[in-house]
Amino acid sequence: MLTQVQAAPGAGLDAFFKAKGVAVIGASDDITKIGGRPVHLLRKYGYAGPVYPINPKGGTIQGLQAYASILDTPTAPEMAILAVPVEATLQAVRDCGSRGVRGVIVLTAGFAESGPEGAALQAELVRVARNHGMRLLGPNCLGAVNVVDRLVGSFSIALEQSMPPAGEVGIVSQSGNIGSFTMRNMAERGLGVSRFIATGNEADVDVADGIAALAHDADTRIILCCMETCRDAGRLIAALDMARQRHKPVIVLKIGATEQGQAAAASHTGALMGSDAVFDAVFRRYGVLRVRSFEELLDVGHAAALLGARRLPATDAVTLVAASGGFGIMMADAMVQAGMTLPQLADATKALIREAVPIAGTNNPVDASAQMSARPDILLKMLTALQNDANGSTLVLLLALSLYTPRLRGVYMEALSKIRASHPDRLLVIISQGPPDAVAEINALGIPVFPSIPAAAIGLAGLVRLGQLTTLPTATAYGGSLDSVDPAVFRNEFHAKKALAVAGISVPREEVVASADEAVRSARATGYPVVLKIASEDIAHKTEIGGVALGLQDDEAVRQAFDRLIGNARKHAPQARLDGVLVAPMVSGGVELIAGVSRDPVFGPVVMVGLGGIYAEILKDVAVQVAPVSEEEALRMIRSLKMFPLLDGARGQAKSDVAAAARTVARLSEFACRHAADVAEIDMNPILVKPQGEGVLVLDALMVPTSRNPSAH
């Protein structure tokens, strides 16, 4: 027996996809019942291994010998499907373990989703399964299907009429209904499916297991995932990395944006980070394409499967062709808004287009007029010229309603067949709504068809991202120790910045003083002008209580400011513990950034960077990534900001020291990982980014301990 250790992502799932022998516990003669459907489907679709119906009554079920217990079967089945009442499930799992079953699918509902008693019973199922070295799928799930080998461990109605054609699309879903709906729709589009798995309550097997198993599966080339949440960030990240390393594109429909991360935020920085944005960041890091609708999942998934990893677009360049100038403008608008680029055509290409269609407009988009569809040879000559153009762009052809006209359909199909034969590796995409048999005919040539201009623009942008999968750098991981921090870092910004300075982050020379005389002495040593700020672990936002004085030019101004700050603190925060007043140099010149760390409830420490002031707070112009990040990743985060031109010398301004800013963000992320047990949040705001080559200075910092109640802020 094995101890209760959770298996690595994907380990042991061959028990569901390659099982030699299946037992259905709770089997029924009635094929409309949950216990009857798996037996029926296994027989209907020709599963080659033995099927053992298990029912206390014995006899025969659906023409097969039934057994009173799984312990009585002539051979030990590798997979067991449980369709028994909740109260009988635990004993059934124990019997499966005793019989040597490798994988158990618990279809039955009524466990963790039903309350504490169900959760306790579910935990016991897992304990028993792990003690016997079994993987457990569910409970409350729709099971698993190996379409290629006709192995059905499900009661899905998506299989009632027909099995999807065998193909290269793997589907993993937490929701059984969404997953089976995806499987059925892919089949209706003529696309084959390799594997399907629905994880349900995820007591043991989770969505990460499904992704990892499909990443290693020889029959699967693309993975579609329907995800509601993530229960274990490390397992999900490991699974996505497996898919990335094996060049298996992953497309995720992530639903259910949570507010947990925002609710837990105590610092200003934390309030700018939402859990959904963190999922986006993780997906970007591992080359996963996140889609926002079921239609987009099907459109992009279908196109990616048709093209395969080798033919995904290498660049975001598109050449647009329509028989109407108006449609061409609509295409251009949608493509540019989706992040695509429209390169100019070579003069030789324009000349060849005019030879084929003398009245054509030869800019991009190409206005080919209705003459392009007059004869197949005219269209073929124009398409050949475009496919031979040196810009290497994806060619997008709008057919509008042409496929509904038999004559025009014939023209297009002949030209498209020949251009695919002559240019098998060049990417060609069609925009058309049908009819379905015409779309299927074009798909059969390996040409994706999108139903609308917006769908094509969004879909192509997604395909470009998937095409960059092989060029992604290895994600940064933290391999250092987990160290404690001096609790003083939570008292005030002075101690917080001292700790950051030790981590290699630049901060000003400053001092905390307890009297006006000490403030004057410190200001003289620092050099005027200076800044005074109240120092207290109970006052996180100093400006709100009049706790900051800027640009103080002489001794008298410092004395007055010291007394004013202490008075304001005692008036507006009478219970606050005061450490004194911070004296720091008044620094100016440069661009302000904000950076920080917040603890995501799923992924742990997350680093954020944005332009300071209204850009971060009002425009929400921030970039996030799970910590740690390398300097290269931090630089990409900074460059992704909408207001990055302010750092890059917009309107003749000096370029800022972006490299130093990226280095600061990377060091902050490492600090957060090293001290993750103690530090929940870090807020560095503002960070003054000086001109290129002059570095940065963190002018204010706040750290929040993991034990602090966020509501205190």
- Domain of 348, CATH number, reads 3.40.50.261
Which residues, in sequence order, are CB contacts of 574 under 8 Å at separation 6+? none
Residue 322 lies in a domain: yes
Half-sphere exposure of 620 (CA within 13 A, CB side): 6
Q: Which residue has the tokens 């009554």?
A: 57
Within 8 A by CB and 6+ apart from 699, the residues are 508, 584, 587, 686, 687, 688
441 with 535, same domain: the answer is no
Q: Which segment of 73-82, 257-266, 363-372, 517-526 scores lowest on mean pLDDT?
A: 257-266
In a domain, 187, yes or no: yes
90, 205: one domain: yes
Same domain, 437 and 525: no
Q: What is the largest CA-CA distance in the chain?
A: 101
Confidence band (pLDDT; 50, 70, 90) for 166? very high
Residue 321 burial (CB count, 10 A):
26
In sequence order, the 6+-apart residues with CB closer than 8 A to the CB of 259 are 274, 275
pLDDT at 259: 53
Question: For residue 275, which of 241, 328, 228 has the smallest C-alpha distance?
Answer: 228
CA 497 to chain CA mean position, Å: 33
Minimum mean pLDDT range among 75-84, 179-188, 195-204, 451-460:
179-188
Q: Is residue 149 part of a domain?
A: yes
Are residues 583 and 510 in contact, defined by beta-carbon separation less than 8 angstroms?
yes
pLDDT band per the 50, 70, 90 thresholds, residue 604: very high
- Determine the structural domain holding residue 559 and report its residue range: 509-585
Average pLDDT score over the chain:
92
* b/e burial code for range 400-426 (CB count within 10 A of at least 16 → b): eebbeeeebbebbbebbbbbbeebeeb
Measured in degrees and rounded to the nearest 5, phi and psi for residue 539 equal: -125, 95
Residue 290 lies in a domain: no
- The answer to whether residues 337 and 431 belong to one domain is yes
Residue 298 resides in a domain: no
One domain for residues 522 and 421 = no
CA-CA distance, 302 to 101, in Å (whole number)? 36
Distance of CA 565 to the CA centre of its chain: 46
When pLDDT is cut at 50, 70 and 90, the band that residue 4 belongs to is low
Is the pLDDT score of 265 beyond 70?
no
In whole angstroms, give the CA distance from residue 522 to residue 519.
5
Q: What is the CATH number of the domain that holds 89?
A: 3.40.50.720
pLDDT band at 269 (very low <50, low <70, confident <90, very high): very low
Q: What are phi and psi of 172, to 5 degrees?
A: -130, 130
Residue 108 within a domain: yes
Reading the block at residue 654, the tokens are 């000096």
What is the pTM (predicted TM-score) of this model? 0.89
Predicted pLDDT of residue 649 = 85
* Span of 369-378, 505-514, 520-529, 628-637 with lowest mean pLDDT: 369-378
Q: Which of 533, 554, 585 is the endpoint of a domain?
A: 585
Residues 513 and 415 in one domain: no
Q: How far is CA 456 from the centre of its chain?
A: 21
Q: How confident is the model at residue 708 (pLDDT cuts 50, 70, 90)?
A: low
User: 41 and 124 in one domain?
Assistant: yes
336-374 pLDDT, tens digit per residue, is 999 999 999 999 999 999 999 999 999 999 999 999 989
CA distance 456 to 461: 8
Cis peptide before 686 (omega within 30 of 0): yes
Q: Is residue 405 part of a domain?
A: yes
589 or 689: which carries more pLDDT confidence? Answer: 689
Q: Percent of the chain at pLDDT above 70?
A: 96
Does residue 307 lie within any of the structural domains?
no
Total of domains in the chain: 3
The reply to whether 444 and 528 lie within a common domain is no
Last residue of a domain, one of 399, 419, 449: 449
Q: Is the peptide bond before 9 cis (omega within 30 degrees of 0)?
A: no
Are 327 and 215 in the same domain? no
Amino acid occupying residue 625: Q
* 425 three-class SS: coil
Q: Which of 404, 427, 449 finishes a domain? A: 449
Residues 178 and 32 occupy one common structural domain: yes
645-682 pLDDT tens trace: 999 988 778 899 999 999 999 999 999 999 999 999 99
Residue 444 and residue 525 in one domain: no
Residues 92 and 24 in one domain: yes
Lowest-pLDDT choice from 23-32, 33-42, 407-416, 461-470: 461-470
**Residue with tokens 């008693």, as numbered in its chain:** 117
What are 123's two structure tokens?
A: 């935990």
Axis-axis angle for helices 453-467, 325-337 (nearest 10): 40
On the question of pLDDT at 14 being above 90, the answer is yes
- Euclidean distance between CA atoms 186 and 86, whole angstroms: 34
What would the DSSP string read from start to end of 366-393?
A: EE-TGGGGS-HHHHHHHHHHHHH-TT-P
Q: What is the distance between the alpha carbons of residues 520 and 513, in angstroms, rounded to a whole number?
A: 9
C-alpha closest to that of 128 among 106, 147, 107, 108: 106
| C-alpha to C-alpha distance for 519 and 76, rounded to whole angstroms | 82
DSSP string for residues in 594-647:
EEEEEEETTTEEEEEEEETTHHHHTS--EEEEESP--HHHHHHHHHTSTTGGGT
